[in-house]
C-alpha cells in the first residue's frame, strides 16, 4: 500500500502538465487574482515548490504567492523603452501609482475610502521637493491615468460614480 499523501507530495514536486499550464498563466498575466480566477490560482498553489524552483533557476524570476493573488516578479536586467505601463505618459504617473500603493498598504481588503481622502494622502506620500497640486491639470490627469490602471488591474474597485 502507498500513502495517498505521499503520492500527492510527489506530484507537487514534479514539473508536469499542470505545472506547465500554471507557469504559462504566470508568464502571460500580470497576476492571478484568487477571487477572479480560482482554478488558475489553485493550480499555482498546488505546484508552488516546483514553480518557485523552476522560475528562480531558469529566468531568475521570483514567485510571489499571496493569499489573494499569485504573480511573478519579472524585473529585467536592462529596461527597454517598450516596458512599463503603456497608458502612463509621465514619470509622475509612476510616482502617483507608488503613492497609491503605499496608501492602500494601510487599508484592509474591501475597505472603502473617499477620493478626497485619497487625494490628501497622496500629497503626503509624494516624494521629492515638488508636491502634487490638484489645481494643475497635468497632475489631475496623472491621477486619472493611475486610478484607471489600478481599477483595470483590480487594485481598486469603483463602488460609486462613473468610470
Does a structural domain hold residue 82? Answer: no
Residues 55 and 102 in one domain: no
Residues 120 and 63 in one domain: no
pLDDT of amino acid 162: 58
Q: Which helix (H) or strand (E) holds 53?
A: helix 48-57
DSSP 76-134: -SS--TT-S-TT--SHHHHHHHHHHHHHHHTS-TT----HHHHHHHHHHH--SSS---T
Residues 16 and 59 in one domain: yes
pLDDT of amino acid 20: 94
Residues 68 and 20 in one domain: yes
Q: What is the pTM of this model?
A: 0.70
pLDDT of amino acid 11: 53
pLDDT of amino acid 91: 92
The domain tally of the chain equals 2
pLDDT of amino acid 2: 52
Does a structural domain hold residue 25? Answer: yes
pLDDT of amino acid 12: 62
Residues 9 and 68 in one domain: yes
pLDDT of amino acid 5: 52
Residues 50 and 98 in one domain: no
Does a structural domain hold residue 21? Answer: yes
Does a structural domain hold residue 46? Answer: yes
Task: Give the end of a domain, one of 39, 73, 107.
Answer: 73
Does a structural domain hold residue 119? Answer: yes
C-alpha cell at 163: 468610470
Residues 69 and 95 in one domain: no
Residues 10 and 66 in one domain: yes
pLDDT of amino acid 110: 86
pLDDT in tens, the chain (163 residues): 555 555 455 556 678 899 999 999 999 998 999 999 999 999 999 999 999 999 999 899 999 999 989 999 988 778 887 888 999 999 999 999 999 999 999 999 889 999 999 999 999 999 878 889 999 999 999 999 999 999 998 899 988 765 5
Domain that holds residue 128: 91-153
Amino acid at each position: 500500500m502507498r500513502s495517498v499523501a505521499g503520492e500527492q507530495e510527489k506530484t507537487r514536486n514534479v514539473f508536469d502538465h499542470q505545472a506547465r499550464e500554471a507557469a504559462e498563466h504566470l508568464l502571460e498575466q500580470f497576476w492571478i487574482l484568487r477571487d477572479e480566477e480560482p482554478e488558475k490560482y489553485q493550480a499555482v498553489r498546488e505546484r508552488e515548490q516546483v514553480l518557485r524552483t523552476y522560475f528562480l533557476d531558469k529566468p531568475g524570476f521570483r514567485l510571489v504567492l499571496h493569499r489573494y493573488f499569485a504573480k511573478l516578479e519579472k524585473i529585467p536586467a536592462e529596461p527597454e523603452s517598450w516596458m512599463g505601463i503603456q497608458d502612463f505618459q509621465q514619470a509622475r504617473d509612476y510616482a502617483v501609482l507608488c503613492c497609491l500603493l503605499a496608501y492602500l498598504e494601510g487599508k484592509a481588503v474591501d475597505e472603502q475610502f473617499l477620493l478626497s481622502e485619497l487625494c490628501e494622502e497622496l500629497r503626503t506620500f509624494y516624494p521629492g521637493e515638488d508636491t502634487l497640486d490638484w489645481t494643475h491639470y497635468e497632475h489631475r490627469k496623472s491621477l486619472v491615468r493611475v486610478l484607471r490602471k489600478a481599477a483595470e488591474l483590480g487594485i481598486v474597485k469603483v463602488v460609486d460614480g462613473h468610470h
